[in-house]
Structure 1
Amino acid sequence: MNKELKVMEPKQYDDEIDLYELIEILVRHKWSIVLTTILCTMLSLGGALYVRSKTPNYLMKSILIQQEDYGLKGVNKINIDTILLQDKNVKRILEIEPIKAEYLENTPKEKQNIASERKFLQEIITISKNDKNPKEISIKIEILADENSSKDIINTYIDILREQDNLADVIKKEKALKSETLEKTRLEVENIQSEILTIFTKDRDIRALKPEERMEYIASKYPDLNLRKSEQEKYYNTYVNELIRLDSLNDKIDSIKETTDIYFLKGQSKAKLILVVGIVMGLFLGIIVAFLKEFIDGYERRYKK
């Protein structure tokens, strides 16, 4: 039994991996590992630089849309989702020459139409809402030709949004109507006052009354006239207050407020990841090459024997 164990022990050691032997193999073929790693690193560096050159950069701007109708009829709702759905807005943005040139260069002639123009702009323009404050909007533009043309896109987009806001026109129209009605009411009040003055001069009974009793006398003897007077004075005061309210809205006409300047945003590329993966892969392949060469060298030695 002991003899069998002694015979088996060498076999067990033969199957075990000798760490020192592995290290010796790696040291012997160190230049193969180094050269393979350098080659893979150079290839990955080239790929990283290419990816980095193709990674787009952006310009961004944030705006705040604080729109209310203030109880007025006919106020348009500012809708950022419909800007590029309107053909006139697409054409207007593409009036920016460098952007138009990029579109023509990247779109085959047979596919140049309003649909491809819209798709082109949708790919370079990103509109997003703040999750915490839906009224805060970010406009992100991919820089294609140059920064100035991208700034022009942002400014044009904001101009289009502002043109949707017709609050100022509605206020102006409403003020004109209220002013006209107020003038008619004022004239009616003056006519009623003239009628009351006429009563004062013709009705002898009223002359004997004290000043504070005269209006009570008119209210009881001429109820229709008194009712007309109360109604018209009420209308007059209502229209005056409404005009004051409309005037106060002038400070709130600008529903779109620019909360930030246009700023540069660097695109996130995978260049660093590609470089790191290339180095690791180079080292791994170098080790494989080292063991492969060791295997070939061993095979050749055995064959020569």
Structure 2
Amino acid sequence: MSKELKVMEPKQYDDEIDLYELIEILVRHKWSIVITIVLCTILSLGAALYVRSKAPNYLIKSILIQQDTYGLKEVNRINVDTILLQDKNVEKILEIEPIKAKYLGKMPKEMQNMASERKFLQDIITVSKNEKNPEEISIKTEIIVDENSSRDVINRYIDILREQDNLSDVIEKEKKLKSDSLEKTKVEIENIQNEILEIFKKDSDLRALKPEEKMNYIASKYPELNLRKNEQEKYYNTYVNELVRLDSLNDKMDIIKETTDIYFLKGQSKAKLILAVGIVMGVFLGVMVAFLKEFIDGYKKRYKK
């Protein structure tokens, strides 16, 4: 039994990997490893610099859209998500000459249509909302020509948003209606007052009454007239209060507020990742080259024998 164990022991050790032998192989071919790592690093550095140079840059502006209908009808709801869905808005933005020229240069003539124009603008303009406060909007555009033309894109986009804001027009329209109604009510109240004066002249029973009793007398003897009087006075007060409220909305008509200036944002690239992967690949390939050369050298030695 002991003899079998002694016979098996050498075979068992022959199958094990000798760590020191592996290290010797790597040291023996260290220059091959170094050269491979350097070559891979140079290649990955070139690729990283190229990717970095192609990384897009952006301009961003933040705005605040605080919109309320204030109980008024026909007030447009400003929706930033539908701006580029409207053909007229796409055409307005593409009136910026450098942006239009970039589109024409990028898109083949046979593919130039409204759909491709819309897709072109959707690719360079990003509108995002703050998750915590949906009223906070960020407008970001890629700099595809120069900063000036990209600034024009953002400003044109905000101008289009402002064109959707018709609150001031609706307020003026409502003020006109209320003012006209108020004037009609004033005329009606004046007519009622004239009728009451005529009653004072003709009704002899009023002369013996005290001033505070006279109106009660008219209210009881002429109920329809009194009802008309109260109704018109109620309308009068309503129209006056409504006009005061509409005037107070003048300070709130600036629905779109610009919360930041247009600022520059450097686009992120995968340059660092590419460089890191290149170095790791260089180490891996260097080790593989070292073992491959060791295998070839061993094969040549056995072949010569």
TM-score tier, shorter chain, comes to over 0.9
C-alpha distance in structure 2 between counterparts of 1:122 and 1:112, whole Å: 15
Partner of 1:203: 203
Once the two structures are overlaid, the 10-residue window that deviates more, 73-82 or 165-174, is 73-82
Partner of 1:7: 7
**Residues 120-151 of structure 1: CA distance to partner in whole angstroms, max 9, x if unpaired?**
00111112222222232222211111222212
C-alpha distance in structure 1 between counterparts of 2:206 and 2:219, whole Å: 12
Secondary structure of the structure 2 residue equivalent to 1:235: helix
Q: CA deviation at 1:20?
A: 1.4
Matched length: 305
1:73 aligns with 2:80: no
Q: CA deviation at 1:87?
A: 1.0
Once the two structures are overlaid, the 10-residue window that deviates more, 70-79 or 197-206, is 197-206
Q: Amino acid of the residue matched to residue 33 of structure 2?
A: I
**Residues 227-250 of structure 1: CA distance to partner in whole angstroms, max 9, x if unpaired?**
221111111111101111111111
Partner of 2:191: 191
Partner of 2:125: 125
C-alpha distance in structure 2 between counterparts of 1:208 and 1:8, whole Å: 143
Unmatched segments (≥5 aa) in structure 1: none
Partner of 1:18: 18
Aligned residue runs from structure 1 range 105-116, under 5 A: 105-116=105-116
Partner of 1:268: 268
Partner of 2:301: 301
Secondary structure of the structure 1 residue equivalent to 2:151: helix
Q: CA deviation at 1:115?
A: 1.1
Taking only aligned residues, the RMSD between alpha carbons, in angstroms, comes to 1.6
Q: CA deviation at 1:202?
A: 3.5
C-alpha distance in structure 2 between counterparts of 1:36 and 1:52, whole Å: 24
**Residues 141-174 of structure 1: CA distance to partner in whole angstroms, max 9, x if unpaired?**
1111122221211111111111111111011011
Distance 1:209 1:298, change over 3 A: same
Q: CA deviation at 1:57?
A: 1.8
Aligned residue runs from structure 1 range 95-244, under 5 A: 95-244=95-244
C-alpha distance in structure 2 between counterparts of 1:293 and 1:2, whole Å: 41
1:37 aligns with 2:65: no
Partner of 2:285: 285
Q: CA deviation at 1:270?
A: 1.1
C-alpha distance in structure 1 between counterparts of 2:223 and 2:19, whole Å: 118
Once the two structures are overlaid, the 10-residue window that deviates more, 64-73 or 21-30, is 64-73
C-alpha distance in structure 2 between counterparts of 1:7 and 1:41, whole Å: 50
Secondary structure of the structure 2 residue equivalent to 1:205: helix
C-alpha distance in structure 1 between counterparts of 2:162 and 2:87, whole Å: 17
Q: CA deviation at 1:84?
A: 0.9
Secondary structure of the structure 2 residue equivalent to 1:138: strand
Once the two structures are overlaid, the 10-residue window that deviates more, 181-190 or 278-287, is 181-190
C-alpha distance in structure 2 between counterparts of 1:291 and 1:228, whole Å: 109
**Residues 245-272 of structure 1: CA distance to partner in whole angstroms, max 9, x if unpaired?**
1111111112222233322222221111
Q: CA deviation at 1:208?
A: 2.1
C-alpha distance in structure 2 between counterparts of 1:210 and 1:5, whole Å: 138
Q: Amino acid of the residue matched to residue 170 of structure 1?
A: V
Q: CA deviation at 1:26?
A: 0.9
Secondary structure of the structure 1 residue equivalent to 2:137: strand
Secondary structure of the structure 2 residue equivalent to 1:9: helix
Partner of 1:90: 90
TM-score by length of 1: 0.95
Secondary structure of the structure 2 residue equivalent to 1:72: coil
Q: CA deviation at 1:178?
A: 0.7
Secondary structure of the structure 2 residue equivalent to 1:267: coil
**Residues 29-65 of structure 1: CA distance to partner in whole angstroms, max 9, x if unpaired?**
1111011001001111111111112221222222222
Unmatched segments (≥5 aa) in structure 2: none
Secondary structure of the structure 1 residue equivalent to 2:128: strand
Q: Amino acid of the residue matched to residue 223 of structure 2?
A: P
Once the two structures are overlaid, the 10-residue window that deviates more, 249-258 or 236-245, is 249-258
Secondary structure of the structure 2 residue equivalent to 1:74: coil
C-alpha distance in structure 1 between counterparts of 2:38 and 2:197, whole Å: 109
Q: Amino acid of the residue matched to residue 279 of structure 1?
A: I
C-alpha distance in structure 1 between counterparts of 2:292 and 2:109, whole Å: 54
Partner of 2:249: 249
Q: Percent identity?
A: 81
Q: CA deviation at 1:289?
A: 0.6
